[in-house]
Amino acid sequence: MSFTLEIGSKAPGFNLPGVDGKQYSLASFKDARLLVVVFSCNHCPAVIGSQDRMIKLYADYKPKGVEMIAINSNEDRNHPDDSFEKMKVRAREKGFLFPYVRDAGQGVAKAYGALRTPHFYVFDEQRLLRYTGRMDDNPYDAAKAAQFDLRNAINLLLLGEKPLVELTNPIGCNVKWLDKDAHWMPPEACDLV
């Protein structure tokens, strides 16, 4: 069995606190045609390089019935920039309009099999996984991106079609797991090819 949630799997439930003082669960997005779940953080260069694109993605697709939630599961003892308080600052500075939530116990990251930050998951109306992996092929520099896997998948799903590419390797920093080396990944985590 792979570590990462497999295509066709049901979205695991969650109930997480947002930087806006609200609690978020799958039910918070019950009316969305598609739900994008992204495992994100504050400190990773790949996330920092992608944040403006995430904001633009949300602005472009929310009117089409697509919702997005960003989940920070990184431990913050050795990565204090990922603390809940610093998340509030980042969301305010960047003007996030999508929920940014904290998975302090890391159970949601484990349930989804998050490998890196950022790691995107796209679920259909039945909340079945239809795409997982990267946003594009260069999270560090938008000008150098040439393959737009996440947008391509969303566009086809909105047309009622299957994405041409359902699975890509996320590009970024490893999720920072509690009591593990910063570069540690579960042995079964290297399953995306």
166 near 156, Cβ under 8 Å?
Answer: no
Domain CATH code at residue 54: 3.40.30.10
On whether the CB atoms of residues 166 and 132 are closer than 8 A, the answer is: yes
Amino acid letter for position 126: Q
- 4 within a domain of the structure (yes/no): no
9 located within any domain: no
160 part of a folded domain: yes
What confidence score (pLDDT) does residue 188 get? 66
Total domains in the chain come to 1
Examine residue 96 and state whether it is found in any structural domain, yes or no.
yes
Q: Is 161 exposed, middle or buried (0-12, 13-18, 19+ CB in 10 A)?
A: exposed
In a domain, 6, yes or no: no
Write down the pLDDT at residue 192.
53
Q: What is the pLDDT of residue 179?
A: 85
Which amino acid, 4?
T
Q: Is residue 2 part of a domain?
A: no
Residue range of the domain that includes 134: 15-189
pLDDT of residue 181: 78
Whether residue 101 is contained in a domain is answered as yes
Query: Which tokens belong to 169?
Result: 């390797």
What pLDDT, on a 0 to 100 scale, did the predictor assign at position 3? 83
Q: Which region, left, alpha or beta, applies to residue 172 given φ > 0 means left and ψ of -120 to 50 means alpha?
A: left
DSSP H or E run through 119: strand 119-123
Does 59 map to a domain? Answer: yes
Rounded to whole angstroms, the Cα distance separating 64 from 77 reads 39
Residue holding tokens 């989940």? 71
Alpha-carbon dihedral 65, 82, 108, 192, rounded to 10 degrees: 80
DSSP per position, 10-47: BPPP-EEEBTTS-EEEGGGGTT-SEEEEEEE-SS-HHH
Residue stretches of the chain with pLDDT short of 70 = 1, 187-193
